[in-house]
Amino acid sequence: MDLTPSPGDESFRAEARAWLAAHVPRTPLPSLETAAGFAAHRAWEAELAADRWSVVSWPAEVGGRDCGLGRWLVFEEEYWAAGAPGRVGQNGVSLLAPTLFDHGTPEQRSRVLPPMARGEVVWAQAWSEPEAGSDLASLRSRAVRVAGGWLLGGQKTWSSRAAFADRAFGLFRSDPDAPRAHQGLTYLMFDLRAPGVTVRPIGRLDGKPAFAELFLDDVFVPDEDVIGAPGEGWRIAMSAAGNERGLTLRSPGRYLAAADRLAALWRRQGCPAYAHDRVADALIGARAYHLFTQEAASRFLAGAELGAESSMNKVFWSEYDLALHETALELLNEEGELAEGAWAEGYVFALAGPVYAGTNEIQRDIVAERLLGLPKGRR
């Protein structure tokens, strides 16, 4: 791995830094888990997209700068260091888009990606069901063949930001007679405002209303919204899941910036000795994660599959994020318990890190079996 930045990387970094310094809102936007915050974050996505900063690694014809994974990491460092807002389009950008690049048709890419890049169409992920979370292949929502498309039925749950999103992507059982649970699934995109869709918010710990469950009652989806071949949904969906856990969902730039903010908070609170080790761990952890991700990215660019290492990365960032926020709230004392601010909101989000994108218990099993070669556990 050669970490020496090229002259082009440095001018790219300088350009990104200057743009962010001129555009990042001076007052933080309201939480994107609320209706007002969602609208404000959409407007921010449009502002980013107007100067082609919303999806830098994508090809130029669909709104990006075609600048590759390496510069995407550079951009992310600058983005989070500048204190820029969380990304409302993340599900679409980090999960659906890579799937469409690998498995979508040219027509799907040119229709779906530009409005996603501009925040005009925000996507929700509709994979989980009440009895199909970790064991996703046991999902029961169905897609039934009709003239020109499919009728969707069933229930999806735990869908982040679905209360305000526009469209969703998910897996549906299209062949109930397939011999194995992973077979006979089809990957489809659908409209959250189509007839037959009911979106019901699920209460969150902090009372914010964006998290939702979806009820689908004969929802028509045209053939052009099937991703890949019908029946091949599992293989197609799994090729994107590694991306989510391993590289694109949590860029190291986010944690480098968060660790610096934690160190600043610690100094502001008079450098209390009890938190000294934890603040040092946070600073070291962020840099270690940064190096690990750079290494993973360079191997990925050289053609390697990330596979089970994505699971290791996922366990690391989710536990790291939680420890960092717990330290921050402790430093804030009772102010932290009662605060409405970024640390308190970040803490609630961090609590869910070991669960979403595949629980850490499952990720540890994957690491044990596929990376360490340990025997399969009894389930």
Ligand X SMILES: Cc1cc2nc3c(=O)[nH]c(=O)nc-3n(C[C@H](O)[C@H](O)[C@H](O)COP(=O)(O)OP(=O)(O)OC[C@H]3O[C@@H](n4cnc5c(N)ncnc54)[C@H](O)[C@@H]3O)c2cc1C
Q: Is 304 left (phi over 0), alpha (psi -120 to 50) or beta?
A: beta
Active site residue 244: yes
Could you say whether residue 125 binds ligand X (CB under 6 A)? yes
When CB distances to ligand X are compared, the closest residue is 133
Establish if 215 lies at the interface with ligand X (CB under 6 A). Answer: no
| Position among 34, 108, 160, 269 found at the interface with ligand X (CB under 6 A) | 160
Out of 158, 169, 234, 289, which residue is the one contacting ligand X (CB under 6 A)?
158
Q: How many CB atoms lie within 10 A of CB 322?
A: 18
Closest distance of CB 80 from ligand X, Å: 20
Nearer to ligand X, 287 or 364 (CB): 364
Note whether 174 and 185 are within 8 A (CB): yes
CA-to-CA dists, residue 108 to 4, 164, 165, 172, 226, angstroms? 37, 23, 19, 19, 9
Task: Choose, by CB under 6 A, the member of 361, 370, 371, 374 that binds ligand X.
Answer: 361
**Residue 15 sits in the site that holds ligand X (CB under 6 A):** no
Residue closer to ligand X (CB basis): 180 or 379: 379
Out of 76, 77, 213, 244, pick the active-site residue.
244
Which residue from 127, 172, 187, 289 is in contact with ligand X, where contact means CB under 6 A?
A: 127
Nearer to ligand X, 51 or 361 (CB): 361
CA dist 81 → 31, 230, 242, 324 (Å): 19, 43, 26, 16
Instruction: For residue 294, count CB atoms less than 10 angstroms from its CB and return exposed for 0-12, middle for 13-18, buried for 19 or more.
Output: middle
Question: What gap in Å lies between CA 13 and CA 15, rounded to an integer?
Answer: 5
The DSSP H or E segment spanning 18 is helix 7-23
Q: Any contact of residue 128 with ligand X (CB under 6 A)?
A: yes
Tokens of 348: 């609630």
- Interface ranges with ligand X (CB under 6 A): 125-128, 133-134, 158-160, 352, 355-356, 358-359, 361-362, 365, 379
Catalytic residue list = 244
